[in-house]
């Protein structure tokens, strides 16, 4: 390895160390440092686009700049390490209330819809509620429609359209309309925990107070 290559590598490491030091030291950047080894790390890139550039600035959880959250953040309950719209191309329609449990992961291009047009007057939206349990996984291009409840450990396959509830959870769904293609053994399902727990940008220990002040869910 040449001297210049070694020097470049050292400079890169030093800059990285400086970045982590800054993130650890400045309170508003703590989520970047604390979540770095989680399933949904709050990266400097996401933080910059959201907090500085203003994409989904009104939302209390990290959202990719290509995803959309419409309606009100007041209507969305995000569990620990659960960030609808974290992946690219998602559409979160929060005209009705949306509840998503802890450690549920949401892939790219997922739609979660909590209100639909009135059949007789498409100027009107009829809000409903969507409940998604903990430790779930919503696959790429899946759609969750108004009024749906999914229990814990529900896996929604890529491209599925979920039109009805599967409140018992512990299952894999696929198809349009979605149906159960496999059931999971609850004894094998792991309820893991991260060392640092955040509900979006909010420390979990502070989230109940945040929820009382700012949310309607």
Per-residue pLDDT of the chain (217 residues; tens, 9 = 90+): 564 455 344 444 444 444 445 556 677 788 998 999 999 999 999 999 998 999 999 999 999 999 999 998 999 999 999 999 999 999 999 999 999 999 999 999 999 999 999 999 999 999 999 999 999 999 999 999 999 999 999 999 999 999 999 999 999 999 999 999 999 999 999 999 999 999 999 999 999 999 999 999 9
pLDDT of residue 7: 38
Supply the pTM of this predicted model: 0.88
Number of domains in the chain: 1
- Per-residue pLDDT at 153: 98
For residue 68, being part of any structural domain is answered with yes
pLDDT for residue 1: 57
pLDDT for res 26: 74
How much is the pLDDT for 29? 84
Domain assignment of residue 140, yes or no: yes
Catalytic residue among 117, 120, 196, 204: 117
Q: Evaluate whether 61 touches 200 at the Cβ level (below 8 Å).
A: yes
Is 70 a domain residue?
Answer: yes
Domain membership of residue 12 (yes or no) is no
Residue 15 in any domain: the answer is no
Strand partners, 93: 70, 113
Active site residue 192: no
The domain in which residue 109 lies consists of: 58-214
């Amino acid at each position: 390895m040449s001297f210049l290559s070694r020097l470049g590598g050292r400079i890169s490491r030093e800059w990285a160390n400086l970045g982590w030091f800054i993130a650890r030291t400045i309170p508003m950047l703590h989520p970047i440092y604390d979540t770095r080894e989680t399933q949904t790390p709050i990266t400097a890139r996401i933080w910059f686009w959201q907090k500085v550039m203003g994409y989904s600035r009104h939302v209390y959880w990290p959202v990719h700049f290509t995803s959309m959250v419409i309606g009100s953040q007041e209507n969305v309950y995000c569990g620990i390490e659960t960030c609808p719209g974290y992946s690219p191309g998602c559409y979160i329609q929060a005209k009705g209330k949306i509840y998503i449990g802890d450690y549920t992961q949401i892939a790219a291009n997922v739609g979660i819809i909590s209100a639909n047009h009135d059949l007789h007057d498409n100027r009107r939206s009829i809000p409903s509620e969507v409940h998604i349990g903990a430790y779930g996984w919503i696959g790429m291009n899946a759609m969750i429609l108004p009024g749906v409840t999914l229990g814990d450990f529900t896996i929604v396959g890529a491209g599925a359209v979920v039109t009805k509830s599967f409140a018992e959870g512990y299952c894999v769904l696929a198809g349009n309309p979605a149906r159960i293609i496999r059931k999971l053994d609850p004894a094998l399902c792991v309820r893991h925990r991260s060392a640092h727990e955040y509900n979006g940008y909010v420390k979990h220990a502070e989230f109940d107070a945040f929820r009382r002040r700012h949310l309607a869910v």
